[in-house]
Structure 1
Amino acid sequence: MDVSCAFPTDLDSPDNIALAERLGYHRAWVYDTPQQSPDVWMTLALAAQRTERIGMGPGVLVPSLRHPMVNATATATLSALAPGRVAVAFGTGFTGRRAMGYGAISWAFMESYIRTYRALLRGEVVEWEGARMQMLHPDGHAPARPIDVPVLISALGPKGNKIANELGDGLFTTLQLPDFIADHSWAAYLAWGTVLDEGEDDDSEHARSAGGPGWALSFHSAYEFGGPDAVLALPGGEEWLSVVEETPRDQRHLAVHAGHCVELNAADQAAWRAGGSTTLQDVTLSGRRDRVRSLLEDYSSRGVTEVVFQPCGSNVQAELERFLDAAEPVVSKGDT
């Protein structure tokens, strides 16, 4: 199992990707969340210029945010800057859409989009929105077509898995491990958490800053997919919901997703203080070194071929190093 990392795209991400390369990480993924992040493609281009070996790519792109020609051209550009190192993952849009008040895109749209995107990279003439088009880049404007870049699909259910099997080169999952993950030769799993020191409590300041943003996803996803009742079933859920519901209903998604994967927002902090921190090890890849290693061994046995760890908190290097130390007996690194 390869060990990779992910970053919620920010102005430090190019330097953090270079750091991950020096530490030995296999690949770095960055998020397509324009409502809270700088542009994912600009960030990756800067990272490509600061690195030599590490794989990289957007994980995950939300198709509705860009025309397929725009993503195809951006992919071609990054492939020229980092030849042989680029992979692309697509998803239906959790934070990338829901934080702007939209629902997820349909799998029918996803299928059409990826077919078009991949055909463009092959140099074919495609039809999109009733018009015929093709990548017309002359020499010096993009690599010659076809441009072969692996594509992963983020899927948790049968519809997404069908498209991943038909159109993708692998699976990109998070929050849960579907049974069909073992059917894919490339199965990346995105996880948040932190390696705790011996004797460190789950509600320590380090646990809150480094593990808390991933822990908060249990509230964000419960609310988005199960509604208020699902949140109330969580420790600290009543306190979390009371803060969110102070915001007008048509802007409530802003209160839910503020700080997503970066820091605890006001509702998250209220839940943490109310005892929600007791679930940290249940909902994230957190715990003492031996526990994290045991979880990684379980992931590998269930079919995960690439674990993708997102560090949080003020000391990214320390979190990346802690995770590598815990993962060392289980995973391969670097150019393996």
Structure 2
Amino acid sequence: MKISSQFPTSLDAPAHIAVSEQLGYDRAWLFDTPQQSPDVWMMLALAAERTQRIGLGPGVLVPNLRQPMVNASGAAALCALAPGRVAVAFGTGFTGARAMGAKSTTWAYLGEYVRVFRALLHGEIVDWGGGRMRMLHPVGHAPSRPIDVPVLISALGPKGFAVAKELADGLFTVNGETAFAKEFTWAALGVHGTVLAEGESLDSPRVRAAAGPGNALAYHAAYEFGGDVTTLPGGQAWLDVVNQVPERERHLAVHDQHLVALNAADRAAWAAGSWAAIPTTTVTGSAAQLADRLAEYAEQGITEIVYQPTGPDIAHELEAFITAARTVPAG
């Protein structure tokens, strides 16, 4: 099983990716979240200049944020800077869309978008938005076409898996969803969490910084997808803070600091005991416990673990995680 890293796109992301390469991570993915991040292609380009081996890609691109040519051109440029190292993942949009008050794209739209994206990279003329277009990049502006870039699709539910099965080179999944992993030769699973020191408590300040944002994801997702947040530890305290915000602006309160730190609602939930959910919502535990969890994921068909560290010491989190991961038995 490959071990990759993932980061919220930040000005420090290229440096974090360079550390990932030094530690032996196979690939690094960056979020496409323009409401809280610099441009994902710009930061990936900087990472390409600072690395030699590690795979690179956006994970995941949200189709309704850009016209297909924009992403095709970005992918082509990254291929020129990091030949043989690029993969691209697409999804319908969670924080990348909802944090700006937008709805997720439909699976039909995402499917057509991926078809057009690939056709553009292959040098074809495509129809989009009522017009016809083709990559016209001269020599020195992009690699010559065709450009082959592996595409993963982030899918949850039967519609998404059907699109991924038809169009993708692999599956990019989250939230512990492994039901369809064995149907793909490349199945990546995003995880969060931290390696606990002996005797370290889940409600410690360090664990709050390192695993708290990943734990908060469960609250953000439950709220956005119509679940009952109050069934989670501290969920009522979380919801009370969100409900104080005018309804048209609540998405701003929900997604503030998403997977970076704790927002006001997340902090209220933490004080009310949300930390108790960490063993369920994240991959957190001793090094041996983490190795056991990763071995279980491998048995379920996951071929790539995508670890996103948080907190003030990203290098330490990356090193502790991959050290634990290396103890997972091969095969």
Give the TM-score band, short-chain normalised.
over 0.9
- Matched with 2:298 is 300
Change (3 A) 1:257 1:331: farther
Query: Equivalences for 1:69-148 in 2 at 5 Å?
Result: 69-148=69-148
CA contact (8 A) 1:189 1:306 kept: yes
SS in 2 for 1:277: helix
CA deviation map 1:155-202 (0-9, x unaligned)? 011111111111110000011324111110000000011111111111
Aligned pair 1:63/2:28, yes or no? Answer: no
Q: CA–CA distance in 2 between the matches of 1:308 and 1:179?
A: 17
Q: Which of structure 1's runs of 4+ aligned residues deviate more than 4 A?
A: none
Tell me which amino acid in the other structure corresponds to 2:299: S
Does 2:148 match 1:162? no
Task: Determine which structure has greater relative contact order: mean sequence separation of CA pairs < 8 Å that are 6+ residues apart, divided by chain length.
Answer: 1
Aligned to 1:5: 5
Q: Contact conserved, 1:156 with 1:176, CA < 8 A, in 2? A: no
| Cα distance between partner residues in 2 of 1:119 and 1:261 | 33
Q: 3-state SS of the aligned residue for 1:60?
A: coil
Answer whether contact 2:195 2:320 (CA < 8 A) is retained: yes
- Aligned partners of 1:200 and 1:97: how far apart in 2? 36
* Other-structure match for 1:281: 279
Asked whether 1:191 is paired with 2:186, we answer no
Q: Quick one: distance in 2 between partners of 1:25 and 1:325?
A: 11
What amino acid sits opposite 2:195 in the alignment?
Answer: V
| Residue 239 (structure 1) aligns with | 237
2:315 paired residue among 314, 317, 322: 317
**Aligned equivalents of 1:99, 1:252: Cα separation in 2:** 9
Distance 1:258 1:95 in 2: 9
Q: Distance in 2 between matches of 1:192 and 1:64?
A: 26
For residue 329 of structure 1, what is the aligned residue in structure 2?
327
Unaligned runs of 5+ in 2: none
Structure 1: gaps spanning 5 or more residues? none
SS in 1 for 2:211: helix
| Aligned: 1:269 with 2:270 | no
Q: Which residue of 1 aligns with 2:49?
A: 49
Aligned residue pairs total 330
Q: With structure 1 as the length reference, what TM-score do the two structures score?
A: 0.97
Structure 1 counterpart of 2:276, which letter? Answer: T
Secondary structure class of the residue paired with 2:188: strand
